[in-house]
């Protein structure tokens, strides 16, 4: 099956929050007016609509092509599946929260109130995707602001909309050029920075940065080991030679 | 906290210690029964706080004296430092054990701390740190074991450990090099979050160099306290030598730090009226003052001045690591993180526990070499073992 993606078009969104309640229902999370008004991702809100006057945007996991969370997790609890979703395997997680520190989109949330907490984030309805269905938020959206389907098709659709109505959009597809690309694309009439999105993310995937450092590990072990062994041999050889040359001349000790 | 050892006011410090431990125990109760939300000011915006920034990042660095001194004496064969290898290894061993204790507080599911050992992700810096810290703590336990074995007079076990000493020391140096630098690499992944005064591709190198430097400062610090507490002669010539090395390394570090800032064009923010700039200069001052002062023979010859220079260097180190983990991360997070009292109390209790354990170990185990008058057979065996390993 082809890799899936979600396309959100802010110009079609009416701020009805059907996506939020569908998401809460899917995860079995509480949802009421108070939670609806929170407008931020948290342990009980895995997607949210963000309102700025008459304009709307959505926040949810971007399902990066090269996910930072999957790269930093010491126990490999995050995985990008062939189908597109970045999924989280709770049974591996020890709760170090490096994923939260590292995520460039500020997505993973933690169950701070629980004694045995886990990370919470959108999984692009992995189980529904496996069953060939669209995400719960897509199904619930009354205006088509949220759409989902094959990644290539979603990207083509986004490009088409930009080309057909250039005046209606701010001119970019968010999620294409950020940290190596994502599987969630955002279209908006105004820059998404107004909704808390960052426009200054590097184009290359973040895991490249740590991979570069980790590449030195074998060198440190190999070269370092030989070097230290060599130094040990030389420094102690000198002493042995001195001892052998003249037993009357004791090796230098610290009698100062 | 810095006078936990001296005897004169022992009852006073004992009271302080017990208070800290009692409050720490209550904080631990809150942490483990009510969760991280109830016991910390951490949040989705600020997931790493004092326990990672101080207890882990500083704790591991402050314990770096163990591998540097072990290397100096056993690999480089600089015998004059031999009297302070044991206290340095003791500090390192206790340090790493306490870092693990702190991690158990910080991890959401501490009972899964062993997961990285079987669930591998070699792309993760944290995975590498986890493995190195586990292995190095084992190495430290073995490097420290002769002290206990001597006390117990288990000569055969002692001989085995001495035979393995050099490979152990080499492994210890390699593992330390890897994870001391990797603690800096942890932050390579957040170029968009860490302030430009602290984010640099050189983070791993800066973390390694500062750890080696502070390891020397810690050795001076603990030698001074031990001499006060136990009425020992201070090893002034030794400490002088280390102080000189400290000055050189700290200077090299600062030169590298400023060259890097200049090369990245990040010096501008240092002169803007922001909290970040303030904390940056505090960090630099704490490091630069001892680095400069210790070039003067008069300062190095004066034990008290030497001691205070070491304390400043330690403060500089701690400020840098807290700047990386807290100050530099705040702006991008959009929140201001101030640790909750429970976080502070747990940290203080862990530090106090470290002092107490160090003190107890020095009191009951042959850590410091007694000056000649009571040479015990076990010590002779130890030195015999050392020469044997050296041949």
Instruction: Name the minimum distance, in Å, from the CA of B294 to any CA of chain A.
Output: 22
Which two three-digit tokens encode residue A247? 């037993």
Model pTM score: 0.90
B107 and A210: CB-CB below 8 Å? Answer: no
What CATH number does the domain located at B29-390 have?
Answer: 1.20.1630.10
Chain B's closest residue to A230, CA to CA, is B75
B115 and A74: CB-CB below 8 Å? Answer: yes
Across all residues in chain B, what is the average pLDDT? 90
Chain B's closest residue to A238, CA to CA, is B77
pLDDT for position B80: 87
Contact list, B195 vs chain A (CB under 8 Å): none
- Comparing CA positions, the residue from B356, B363, B364 lying closest to residue B18 is B356
- Comparing CA positions, the residue from B175, B96, B161, B142 lying closest to residue B357 is B96
Q: Distance between CA B224 and CA B230 in Å, rounded? A: 10
pLDDT for position B235: 79
Q: State the DSSP code for B253.
A: H
Considering only CB atoms, B76 lies closest to which of A43, A212, A235, namely A235
- Of A138-147, B230-239, B325-334, least confident by mean pLDDT is B230-239
Which helix (H) or strand (E) segment holds residue A120: the answer is strand A119-120
Tell whether the model's pLDDT for residue B174 goes beyond 60.
yes
Q: Distance between CA B390 and CA B383 in Å, rounded? A: 10
Q: Which of A115, A250, A255 to mutate to test the interface with B (most CBs of B within 10 A)?
A: A115
Judged on CB neighbours under 10 Å (0-12, 13-18, 19+), B164 is middle
pLDDT for position B6: 52
Counting every residue written for chain B, the total comes to: 391
Q: Which of residues 32-61 of A touch B (CB under 8 A)?
A: 41-43
pLDDT for position B363: 86
Spatial CB neighbours of B266, under 8 Å, sequence gap ≥ 6 = B196, B197, B200
Chain B's closest residue to A205, CA to CA, is B189
Q: Average pLDDT, stretch B344-372?
A: 86
Q: Distance between CA A148 and CA A19 in Å, rounded? A: 13
Give yes or no for A222 touching B (CB within 8 A).
no
Q: Average pLDDT, stretch B188-192?
A: 95
Tell whether the model's pLDDT for residue B172 goes beyond 80.
yes
Spatial CB neighbours of B265, under 8 Å, sequence gap ≥ 6 = none
Q: Distance between CA B289 and CA B295 in Å, rounded? A: 10
What spatial distance separates the first Cα and last Cα of chain B, rounded to whole Å?
A: 44
Contact (Cβ atoms closer than 8 angstroms) between residue B1 and residue B315: no
Q: Higher confidence at residue B332 or residue B7?
A: B332
A239 and B110: CB-CB below 8 Å? Answer: no
Tell whether the model's pLDDT for residue B371 goes beyond 90.
no
Given the structure tokens 């992995």, which residue do they identify? Answer: A126
pLDDT per residue rounded down to tens, chain A (256 residues): 689 999 999 999 999 999 999 999 999 999 999 999 999 999 999 999 999 999 999 999 999 999 999 999 999 999 999 999 999 999 999 999 999 999 999 999 999 999 999 999 999 999 999 999 999 999 999 999 999 999 999 999 999 999 999 999 998 999 999 999 999 999 999 999 999 999 999 999 999 999 989 999 999 999 999 999 999 999 988 888 888 887 655 545 544 4
**Residue B296: CB atoms within 10 Å:** 12
Chain A's closest residue to B112, CA to CA, is A94
Binned at pLDDT 50, 70 and 90, residue B376 comes out as very low
Judged on CB neighbours under 10 Å (0-12, 13-18, 19+), B88 is buried
Is the complex ipTM higher than 0.95?
A: no
Q: Is B46 helix (H, G, I), strand (E, B) or coil?
A: coil
Q: Distance between CA B358 and CA B379 in Å, rounded? A: 21
A76 and B120: CB-CB below 8 Å? Answer: yes
Binned at pLDDT 50, 70 and 90, residue B225 comes out as confident
Contact (Cβ atoms closer than 8 angstroms) between residue B70 and residue B144: no
Phi, psi of A106 (to 5 degrees): 60, 45
Which helix (H) or strand (E) segment holds residue B156: the answer is helix B155-163
- Comparing CA positions, the residue from B50, B67, B142 lying closest to residue B346 is B50
Tell whether the model's pLDDT for residue B379 goes beyond 80.
no
User: Edge-to-edge strands of the sheet including A146-150?
Assistant: A146-150, A4-9, A184-187
- A58 forms beta bridges with A49
Give yes or no for A115 touching B (CB within 8 A).
yes
Q: Average pLDDT, stretch B234-256?
A: 92
Which two three-digit tokens encode residue A134? 């669209």
Contact (Cβ atoms closer than 8 angstroms) between residue B331 and residue B195: yes
Binned at pLDDT 50, 70 and 90, residue B390 comes out as very low
Tell whether the model's pLDDT for residue B374 goes beyond 70.
no
Considering only CB atoms, A95 lies closest to which of B74, B108, B128, namely B108
Q: Determine the distance from the C-alpha atom of residue B191 to the mean position of all C-alpha atoms in its chain, rounded to a whole number.
A: 26
Q: Where are the domains of chain B?
A: 29-390
Which two three-digit tokens encode residue B390? 């050296």
Q: Is the dihedral of CA B234, B236, B238, B243 positive or negative?
A: positive
Give yes or no for A92 touching B (CB within 8 A).
yes
Which two three-digit tokens encode residue B68? 């540097």
Counting every residue written for chain A, the total comes to: 256
Q: State the DSSP code for A250.
A: P
Binned at pLDDT 50, 70 and 90, residue B97 comes out as very high
Angle between the B203-230 and B341-364 helix axes, to the nearest 10 degrees?
A: 50
Tell whether the model's pLDDT for residue B372 goes beyond 90.
no
- Of B58-67, B76-85, B87-96, B316-325, least confident by mean pLDDT is B76-85
B237 and A209: CB-CB below 8 Å? Answer: no
Give yes or no for A133 touching B (CB within 8 A).
no
């Amino acid at each position: 099956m082809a890799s899936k993606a979600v396309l959100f078009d802010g110009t079609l969104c009416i701020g009805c929050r059907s996506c939020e309640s569908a998401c809460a229902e899917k995860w079995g999370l509480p949802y009421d007016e108070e939670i609806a008004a929170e407008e931020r991702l948290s342990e009980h809100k895995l997607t949210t609509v963000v309102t700025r006057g008459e304009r709307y945007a959505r926040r949810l996991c971007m399902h990066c092509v090269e996910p930072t969370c999957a790269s930093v997790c010491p126990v490999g609890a995050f995985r990008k599946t062939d189908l597109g979703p970045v999924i989280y395997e709770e049974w591996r997680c020890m709760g170090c929260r490096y994923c939260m520190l590292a995520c460039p989109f500020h997505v993973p949330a933690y169950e701070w109130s629980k004694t045995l907490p886990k990370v919470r984030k959108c999984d692009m309805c992995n189980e529904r995707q496996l069953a060939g269905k669209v995400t719960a938020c897509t199904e619930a959206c009354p205006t088509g602001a949220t759409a989902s389907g094959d990644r290539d098709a979603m990207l083509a659709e986004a490009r088409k909309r930009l080309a057909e109505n250039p005046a209606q959009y701010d001119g970019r597809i968010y999620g294409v050029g950020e940290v190596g690309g994502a599987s969630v694309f955002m279209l908006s009439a105004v820059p998404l920075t107004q909704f808390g999105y960052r426009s200054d993310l590097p184009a290359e995937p973040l895991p490249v940065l740590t991979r570069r450092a980790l590449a030195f590990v074998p060198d440190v072990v190999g070269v370092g080991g030989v070097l230290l062994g060599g130094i040990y041999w030389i420094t102690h050889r000198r002493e042995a030679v001195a001892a052998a040359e003249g037993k009357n001349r004791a090796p230098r000790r610290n009698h100062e | 906290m810095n006078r936990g050892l001296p005897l004169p006011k022992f009852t006073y410090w004992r009271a302080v210690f017990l208070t800290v431990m009692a409050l720490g125990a209550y904080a631990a109760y809150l942490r483990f029964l009510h969760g991280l939300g109830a016991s910390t000011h951490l949040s989705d915006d600020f997931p790493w706080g004092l326990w990672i920034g101080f207890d882990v990042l500083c704790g591991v660095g402050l314990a770096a004296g163990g591998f540097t001194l072990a290397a100096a004496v056993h690999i480089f064969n600089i015998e004059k430092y031999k009297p302070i290898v044991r206290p340095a290894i003791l500090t390192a061993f206790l340090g790493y054990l306490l870092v693990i204790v702190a991690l158990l507080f910080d991890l959401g599911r501490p009972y899964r701390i062993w997961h990285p050992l079987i669930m591998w992700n070699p792309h993760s810096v944290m995975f590498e740190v986890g493995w190195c810290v586990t292995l190095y703590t084992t190495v430290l336990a073995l490097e420290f074991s002769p002290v206990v074995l001597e006390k117990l007079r288990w000569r055969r076990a002692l001989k085995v450990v001495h035979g393995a000493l050099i490979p152990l020391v080499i492994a210890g140096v390699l593992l330390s090099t890897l994870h001391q630098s990797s603690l800096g690499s942890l932050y390579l992944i957040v170029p968009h979050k860490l302030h430009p005064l602290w984010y640099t591709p050189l983070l791993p190198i800066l973390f390694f160099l500062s750890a080696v430097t502070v390891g020397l400062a810690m050795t001076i610090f603990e030698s001074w306290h031990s001499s006060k507490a136990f009425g020992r002669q201070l090893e002034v010539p030794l400490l002088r030598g280390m102080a000189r090395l400290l000055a050189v390394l700290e200077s090299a570090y600062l030169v590298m730090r400023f060259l890097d800032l200049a090369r990245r064009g990040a010096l501008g923010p240092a002169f803007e009226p922001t909290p970040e700039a303030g904390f940056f200069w505090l960090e630099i001052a704490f490091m630069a003052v001892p680095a400069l002062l210790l070039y003067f023979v008069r300062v190095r010859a004066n034990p008290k001045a030497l001691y205070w220079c070491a304390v400043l260097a330690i403060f500089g180190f701690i400020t840098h690591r807290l700047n990386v983990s807290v100050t530099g991360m705040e702006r991008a997070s959009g929140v201001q993180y101030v640790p909750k009292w429970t976080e502070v109390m747990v940290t203080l209790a862990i530090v106090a526990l470290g002092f107490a354990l160090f003190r107890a170990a020095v009191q009951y185990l042959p850590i410091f070499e007694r000056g000649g008058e009571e040479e015990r057979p076990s010590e002779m065996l130890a030195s015999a073992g050392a020469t044997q390993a050296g041949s």
